[in-house]
């Protein structure tokens, strides 16, 4: 028969749980198979090392249908008094988790904060509209509070997961489909609007380039206008006539006897 060392963890340190004592308890349990063993006290921080017969340990473990560490702890607990471990002080999160109801929605249909972010953004826009009506100001925009919006969306998702009424539980798949469809439509709309704005800007820039005049050679100065020459016999070219010239014109051109 071969012996080997077995190391198990116990909740407390026990002086009487020596290798010799445990070996004797093992022989007693194999001799009387009808004897019931104490429940498993559970593992702990104390490491216990025992030198025992391997075949005997395995044989008793097979009879009791237990793993070897569990069997040895039950065997020791049947012959010793193990004090109850003091309860560790629970954290505030653990206490709150115990007070809250269990999550009632299936894991695949549970909500997360992304399912309610768009709803919270809609609430932001609605609040801005109320303030515009109250103060009579048209240029009030929705406040940008992404961190607070995320926290509110997470709280709404957790509330829906834990406190979903019967009608929501029975139609959880339909509501999950509805929220997913709304998120999809909003994402699609935003992406398509960005693409449409980009296409419109490209079209406007192309139109402006077509309408600009093509640069040509520099314009030359027009030649100076030449005034038309005045006629010598025109009314504007005649000089004023003196009184003697007027009398000479009145005289007959041909006198008598001049032939």
**48-103, pLDDT tens digit by residue?**
888 888 888 888 888 888 889 998 999 998 888 877 665 666 666 566 556 666 67
Does residue 135 fall inside a structural domain?
yes
pTM above 0.85, yes or no: no
Same domain, 73 and 121: no
Domain end call among 197, 226, 253 = 197
Does residue 206 fall inside a structural domain?
no
- Please report, for residues 228, 230, 232, 246, the alpha-carbon distance to residue 239 in angstroms, rounded to integers and kept in the order given: 20, 14, 11, 13
Domain end call among 159, 176, 197 = 197
Which uninterrupted H or E stretch holds 247? helix 243-250
Same domain, 112 and 187: yes
**Nearest to residue 159, comparing CAs of 110, 120, 123, 121?**
110
Domain with 63 in it:
3-79
Same domain, 176 and 140: yes
Question: What are the two backbone dihedrals, phi and then psi, of residue 4, each rounded to the nearest 5 degrees?
Answer: -150, 165
Same domain, 63 and 111: no
**Domains in the chain, number:** 2
Q: How far apart are CA 22 and CA 28, in angstroms?
A: 10
Categorize the per-residue pLDDT at 112 as very low, low, confident or very high, splitting at 50, 70 and 90: confident
Does residue 214 fall inside a structural domain?
no
Among 16-20, 103-107, 238-242, the range scoring the smallest mean pLDDT is 238-242
Same domain, 7 and 64: yes
Does residue 247 fall inside a structural domain?
no
Residue 190's pLDDT is what?
78
Q: How far apart are CA 152 and CA 52, in angstroms?
A: 60
Same domain, 115 and 34: no
Annotate 196-233 with DSSP letters as a single string. HHHHHHHHHHHHHHHHSPPP-SPPPPPPPPPPPPPPTT
Q: How far apart are CA 10 and CA 41, in angstroms?
A: 8
Q: How far apart are CA 209 and CA 214, in angstroms?
A: 10
Does residue 120 fall inside a structural domain?
yes
Which tops the pLDDT comparison, 254 or 164?
164
Does residue 232 fall inside a structural domain?
no
Same domain, 40 and 106: no
SS3 for 122-172 is: HHHHHHHHHHHHHHCCCCCCCCCCHHHHHHHHHHHHHHHHHCCCHHHHHCH
Q: How far apart are CA 239 and CA 232, in angstroms?
A: 11
**pLDDT mean over 117-143:** 85
**Nearest to residue 75, comparing CAs of 128, 35, 115, 131?**
35
Does residue 238 fall inside a structural domain?
no
Does residue 132 fall inside a structural domain?
yes
Q: How far apart are CA 8 and CA 131, in angstroms?
A: 68
Domain end call among 181, 197, 213 = 197
């Amino acid at each position: 028969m071969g012996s080997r060392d077995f190391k198990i963890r116990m909740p407390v340190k026990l002086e009487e749980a020596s290798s010799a004592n445990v070996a004797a308890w093992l022989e007693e349990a194999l001799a009387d198979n009808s004897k019931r063993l104490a429940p498993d006290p559970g593992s702990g921080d104390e490491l216990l090392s025992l030198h025992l017969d391997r075949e005997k340990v395995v044989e008793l473990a097979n009879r009791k249908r237990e793993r070897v560490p569990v069997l040895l702890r039950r065997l020791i607990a049947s012959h010793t008094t193990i004090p109850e471990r003091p309860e560790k002080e629970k954290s505030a999160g653990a206490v709150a988790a115990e007070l809250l109801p269990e999550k009632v929605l299936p894991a695949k249909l549970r909500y997360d904060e992304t399912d309610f972010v768009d709803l919270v953004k809609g609430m932001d826009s609605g609040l801005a509209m109320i303030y515009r009506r109250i103060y009579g100001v048209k240029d009030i925009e929705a406040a940008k509070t992404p961190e607070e919006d995320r926290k509110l969306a997470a709280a709404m998702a957790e509330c829906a997961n834990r406190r979903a009424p019967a009608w929501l539980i029975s139609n959880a798949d339909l509501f999950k489909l509805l929220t997913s469809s709304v998120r999809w439509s909003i994402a699609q709309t935003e992406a398509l609007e960005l693409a449409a704005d980009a296409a419109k800007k490209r079209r406007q820039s192309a139109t402006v380039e077509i309408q600009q005049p093509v640069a040509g050679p520099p314009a030359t100065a027009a030649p100076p206008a030449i005034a038309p020459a005045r006629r010598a016999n025109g009314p504007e070219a005649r000089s004023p006539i003196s009184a003697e010239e007027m009398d000479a014109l009145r005289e007959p051109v041909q006198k008598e006897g001049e032939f």
